[in-house]
Every structure is written in C-alpha cells, then in structure tokens.
Structure 1
Amino acid sequence: MLRVGLTGGIGSGKSTVAGRLAEHGAVLIDADRLARAVVEPGTPGLAAVVDAFGPEILAPDGSLDRPKLAAVVFTSAEQRERLNGIVHPLVGGRTAEMLANAADDAVVIHDVPLLVEKNYAPMYNLVVVVHADVEERVRRLVETRGMPEADARARIAAQATEEQRRAVADVWLDNSGTPDQVLAQADALWADRLVPFEANVRLRRWDKYGNARLYDYNPEWPLQAARLAARIKLVTGGLRVDHIGSTSVPGLPAKDIIDLQVTVSSLEQADSFAEPLTEAGFPVRPENTGDRGEETKRYHNSADPGRLANIHLRVAGTQDWRHALLFRDWLRASPEERANYLELKRGIATRFASGENLGEAATAKDAWFDEALPRAESWASKTAWSPS
C-alpha cells in the first residue's frame, strides 16, 4: 500500500486533483467529508460541538449551521483548536477503518486540509500539494462558493503559508491555470510516480538508479533530504539522521541521489528497522553489508522513482560513520578541496557515462578519499571539529 498525503489551501482545487486520482483507481479518504459525517445530526460529534459552542451554531432543522460555526472559529486560533480537538479524533477513527479495509496494492490518497498545520507529512510515503495564487483562490471562493471576500481572505490567512507547504511538498501541482492543466499534471503523477512507487514498496524493491551523470547543485536537495529524514525519524523513534554525500555540500555538482546516514547503536538495532523502513518507502538493498566489504552498516534505497536516495544505517562511533560526517563538513569548509573532488567526479562521470558498471563508478573515488583523509583529519584537528 502506498500512502499519499494530499493538501492545499482552501480554493486551491485539491478536490479536483483528488477526484482525478480516484478516477485512476486510487482509494480516496477525504478528511473534509469525514469531518462532515462525524457531526451529522444524532452523532456524538455534533453533541460535543454543541456543548462546546452552544446551540446557536445549529440550523432550525437541528443540523450544524456551518457558516455560523465558521464565523466563530476562523477568527480565533483558540476556538479552532477547540473544534479540532473534538472533530479530529473522530475523523482519525474513521480514517483508520478505511485504511484497514484498503487492498494491499492500493494507492491511498488522503485529502487532508490541515496536513501541514498538524505536521502530518512524515506519516506518508509522499506528500502532494496543490497550489494556486491567493488572488485566484479568493476569486474562486467568492464566485463559486458565494463566500464574502473578507471571509475568504480570513480563511486563507488562518491556514499554512505557501512557504510552509513548499517545505513538506514532494510534489507541487500548480493549479493557477485551467482545470485541464492540473488534470494533466495529475495524470502524469499517477502514471509516472504513484503506480511504480506503490509496486516498488509492495515488492520490496528500489527504483533504478540511472547513471553517473552530474547535475548542477540544486538548492532543493537539502529540503528533499529533510523530508526523507523526517519520515525516517518517525519510523525509527527519532534516531539521528544526517544529510551526507555530495548533495549535502552547497555548490557541489552531484548525481541526483540523496544520501542519508542514520545513526544506530548496533547492527541489531539497524536490522530491527528493516520492515518499518521498507513500508516507509526505503527497502533493504540485497547487498546489505558494510563499506568496502566491512560489516559496519545496513543499506537501504528509495522506492520512489521521483526521488532516489541511499540510506546508510551506521553504528555510532565507527570509522565509516565518522568519515561520512568529516568529509561532508571538510568539503563544505574547503573550496580548494571541493574543486579537487569535483574534478575527480567529472572524470568518473565521463568514464561511466554509458551507465554500465555503476558499482565500479561508486568505488572509483575510494583512492581519492584514502589520499585525502590525512588532509581532512588535519583540518578537523585545527578546527576542533567533532562529529557530534
């Protein structure tokens, strides 16, 4: 099963994307619909809301008068939290039931308006954010929902900012244009990423890792690494996760593969996370041994075809654990050494441009690291560097 979190600000059109993915066969869990269902007349949820906010939030027929309730809660953060404290646990229970009933090969789309605000992003294999410019969202709310402009702007202001959503978005779908444009993006997302990602997770396999091509430094790499690290921390109970390798060195061209180091206390602890990491989208690699043949780590890869990653679980204090952190920090601080390393990487990229023998490409840098290690250690001594 692949768990996909879908979110976006009010008026962004995420329901359009959710509907399209459901047409392709996704199992859709709509948090808004569930939130309405748990406060229908006669439910314990509605009774709790009335107790909290008074009978004046009821319509004449005894149902919830949503505009009246909105007028109360969307002008006060305290009142919103009060309402969420009633509704969210009920929605969570219904969601758990739907997940339990989903097929093993399902792509589950969880449409959650407050995914960012509630810090739910690490719970999903992938997070998709649907975006539209604020003025376009206001126009839609006024014209299609009949919402007063002031209310529309208040609702938007009460939600997460664009910057906050970008921080958690593995996929960013721009819906500022016509519906056909965002539907085309949704179609491509389904075919090119969600379907193969689900199959990879279910079959416990990682995606193909391409070739040795170098890409210009991408400022998105640290953000992507942080999102992966958050998922890993969630399933490992908060273990230390460091962004290492070339993509962690600002300005350094690299293969478009994120490397993360997870610090474990023992290989037995690393082995205990094999299944949770696989379910999170990081299956065990068969050659699950150590560096240069040493039994010093466990090795996982990303199953996501849209974000390749190597996950190295290394025991704290071991040589390779320390060297991964040392070389990262040394290269960050040493422009001349960074340039020397880049020259080596470009030579390797040219040599293995055909995409064959990528295993040899990965070990072709070992001699340089062995030769550079004394210089890195000298820098560490002079700067009082510590891996902690």
Structure 2
Amino acid sequence: MVIRLTGAVLKVGLTGGIGSGKSAVASRLAEHGAVVIDADKVAREVVAPGTEGLAEIVAAFSGRVLDADGALDRAALGAVVFADETARRRLEAITHPRVRARTAELAAAASPDAIVVNDVPLLVEVGLAPTYHLVVVVQTAVTTRLTRLARDRGMDRAEAERRIAAQADDARRRAAADVVLTNDGSLAELHAAVDALWRERLVPFEANVRGRRPVHPHRVELTEADPTWPQQYARLAARIRHALAPADLRIDHIGSTAVPGLAAKDVIDIQLTVPTLADADGPLAERLAAAGFPRLPGDWWDNPRPPGSGRWEKRLHGSADPGRPVHLHVRAVDSPGWRYALLMRDHLRADPDQRAAYLLLKRELAASAPDSVTYTTAKDPWFDEEHLRAEEWAAQTGWRP
C-alpha cells in the first residue's frame, strides 16, 4: 500500500456564486493574516501573453478571443463559452490543470504555520472540495446577487442570470460546505461572521493540524438526530480518500450518527478498513494526521463480545477541527471489531424496537454519566445482550458485512 506524504499547512477552500461577496470574505481573512490565493488572478497569470495556456486557447477557439495587443479578450472568450457547455468544458480542461499547478506552488511557499485560503469560484463545479481541510461557502440570495452585479460590475440582468445559471446552485454548494457564511446583511455583519470563524475555528484548527492534536470531547451531550450527519460523513470520507490516494481503502459511516432518527453525541464515527493493523501505522497515520485526522495517543481496543474472548485491538484517530469532532476507528478487515461495528449499525437500522430501547438507555446514561468513559462502560451490559440479538438477525437474514 503506497501512501504519499504531505505537509501540514491548513488549507481552506473558499467559494461562492458570482456576486455573493466572496471577495469581501477573502479580503477580511487576508487582514487577519491568511495567505489568500485568488484563483481568478492565477487563471489570468497562466494565460498571459507568451504562455502555453494562451497558445492552447487560441488553438481551440481561434484568434477571435484575442484583443488587438495579442492578449486574451476575456469578454470575447466568455461570450463563446458561457453559452456553450461543451466549449466551457474544453476551456476548463486547458486552464484548470495549470491553475492547480500554480496554486500548489504558491501554497508550498507559505510558512509552515500559515492558513492558506484558496479563493476558487468553481471549487464545487470541478470537484476540489476533498482537497481542503475545510470548505467555506458564501451564500447570498439570487436577487441580491443580481442587484450587486448590476451595481458593481455594470452587468445587465440577462448576462448576470446566465452567469449564475452556469455555476453550481446553492444546494450543491451547501452539500460541499463545512461552513456557510450568509451574506444578505451588512458588510459589518459579514465581517463579524468572518472574525468569529477565524478566531474560533481556523486558528485552533491550524494549531491542531500542525501539532497533531485531535479534538476529543470528554463530556457526553446528546443531541437530537441531525439529518445532515450522513452528508457530513460523506465530506469527511471524501477527504480521507483523497488523503490516502492512491490506496483505495473501505470507509464506512458507523455508530449512532449512522442510524437515522437516533439521538447521539455530535461526533461522527467513521471506520477505515486496512489489510492489517501494521498497515495502520507509519505513512498512513502520518497522511491522516496531515489531512486533519491525527491519532489519539495511547493504546485503543474495543470491548469484546462476548466478554473474555480476547482484546479487539484498533487504532483511533480524531479530528483536528474544533468545529467537527470525529472518531476515526482504523480496524483490520474481517477482524471481530470491524465486523461488530457494521453488524450493530445495520441491526439498529433494521430493528425499530431495539433502536428505541437503545435511545432510552442513551438518554438515561447521558443524564447520570456525563463523562465519556463512564457513559461508554455503562452501555456494555446492554450491548452484550444486543450482540446476541444482532447475531440471530444476521443468521436469519443472511447479513454479511
């Protein structure tokens, strides 16, 4: 299994639709000290006169996209590609790889403790979200965006609507977003939201990534079932897959947040499957840490079912992001703990009575055992019995992990 190593600088993806106010967010982050890389500026650089990028654009779209001085006439090019999806994709195939390469160079030049913010208008459209530790989306009502485009850029309504329609819609951006900044109010309100994001999340996130420190909640606070938990898991899993590429390892959403309708601690449990636990050490652990999932110190294992059947060893990683606690359980394929995590999840999904019984137990224990160690240990007797019920269900249904 080949794992590529990477640096630990915090990488934040910033995006939003045209006219959303994304540039105002980028400017405010730069005032706080972020290293802001503007994809639009980089895009201009890679197609400047004399570059291979410009030569390839001319070969694709002819000299009609050049101005009198031989530079790229962006308005002329825009008139060609924004009305033609095939042409737009052809342009993106020319420019996007060059923009990514130049962006990587600029990020590599940042200091080790930098917070690098990539301001990328088409971050969602081109699938870049998993390459960042965090994705911030600026969201603004379309009517407000149309007004701003007319006022600030002199763009007529028909052209503004075409530009907006050519980009991802709000729902698609929200699905990729770890943070949504709503910009329908005043600039002062937007700045206040950015300041809080910087202070409460980005600065501690960067320090945790650099110091390989996971966030590990010790108090038990149950929250009602959040329908976005599966979506949050999907974003986290995509980051993990990107971090471990080209290795193609199985990743599963497990635990209570993977069971619809079940109240839980607001911690996303994820299972990463490795061939052996030896594969969980060394480069793989370092790659996960650099991606924002450092290992929790100490030895970790699952309580065996039935008790006394031998220790079920695993590796446990957390999240460096103070805004999204994660338990990343790294288990060997076909090991008892690996199978048990999948079995219990699937049985609780399938059996509403046991799901209700488990929820009642969780509420009682959360009220009487607020620390995580006591809470977890107190659930053991129930899980000893539930394990037997789950095994019977598996035998009856032909369940396989």
Classify the secondary structure of the residue corresponding to 2:201.
helix
Native 8 Å contact 1:243 1:261 kept in 2: yes
Q: Which amino acid aligns with 1:381?
A: A
Number of the residue aligned with 2:290: 279
Classify the secondary structure of the residue corresponding to 2:104.
helix
Distance 2:93 2:360 in 1: 56
TM-score (norm 2): 0.93
Deviations 1:52-85 (A, max 9, x none): 2122212223322211110001111111111112
TM-score (norm 1): 0.96
Distance 1:217 1:235 in 2: 29
Deviations 1:357-381 (A, max 9, x none): x323222212211121111111112
Distance 1:338 1:44 in 2: 60
Distance 2:300 2:216 in 1: 20
Range moving further from structure 2, 36-45 or 154-163: 36-45
Deviation at 1:48?
2.3
Deviations 1:16-50 (A, max 9, x none): 11111111000111111110122223333222222
Residue from 301, 314, 318 that aligns with 1:297: 314
Number of the residue aligned with 1:5: 13
Number of the residue aligned with 2:384: 370
Count of residue pairs the alignment pairs up: 384
Deviations 1:245-269 (A, max 9, x none): 1111111111111100111111122
Q: Which amino acid aligns with 1:280?
A: A
Number of the residue aligned with 2:340: 323
Classify the secondary structure of the residue corresponding to 2:203.
helix
Number of the residue aligned with 1:242: 252
Native 8 Å contact 1:127 1:171 kept in 2: yes
Classify the secondary structure of the residue corresponding to 2:215.
coil
Classify the secondary structure of the residue corresponding to 1:226.
helix
Distance 1:273 1:196 in 2: 24
1:257 and 2:262 are equivalent in the alignment = no
Percent identity over paired residues: 56
Native 8 Å contact 1:242 1:261 kept in 2: yes
Distance 1:73 1:54 in 2: 13
1:83 and 2:91 are equivalent in the alignment = yes
Range moving further from structure 2, 187-196 or 344-353: 344-353
1:25 and 2:29 are equivalent in the alignment = no
Classify the secondary structure of the residue corresponding to 2:239.
helix
Number of the residue aligned with 2:5: none
Deviation at 1:111?
0.9
Distance 1:134 1:168 in 2: 19
Number of the residue aligned with 1:65: 73
Q: Which has the higher contact order (CA 8 A, sep 6+)?
A: 2
Native 8 Å contact 1:217 1:247 kept in 2: yes
Q: Which amino acid aligns with 2:232?
A: Q
Deviation at 1:295?
5.1
Distance 1:32 1:151 in 2: 19
Classify the secondary structure of the residue corresponding to 2:323.
coil
Classify the secondary structure of the residue corresponding to 2:75.
helix
Number of the residue aligned with 2:364: 347
1:231 and 2:239 are equivalent in the alignment = yes
Distance 1:317 1:265 in 2: 9
Deviations 1:70-110 (A, max 9, x none): 00011111111111122122212211211111111110001
Distance 1:44 1:90 in 2: 10
Distance 2:224 2:215 in 1: 22
Native 8 Å contact 1:212 1:348 kept in 2: no
Deviation at 1:208?
4.1
Distance 1:359 1:133 in 2: 45
Q: Which amino acid aligns with 2:168?
A: A
Number of the residue aligned with 2:176: 168
Gaps of 5+ in 1: none
Distance 2:392 2:256 in 1: 21
1:308 and 2:325 are equivalent in the alignment = yes
Distance 1:263 1:42 in 2: 49
Distance 1:243 1:366, change over 3 A: same
Deviation at 1:290?
2.0
Deviation at 1:142?
1.7
Distance 1:238 1:308, change over 3 A: same
Instruction: Write the mapping of 1:15-164 to structure 2, written as runs, cut at 5 A.
Output: 15-164=23-172
Q: Which amino acid aligns with 2:174?
A: R
Number of the residue aligned with 2:306: none
Gaps of 5+ in 2: 1-8, 304-309
Number of the residue aligned with 2:193: 185
Classify the secondary structure of the residue corresponding to 2:197.
helix
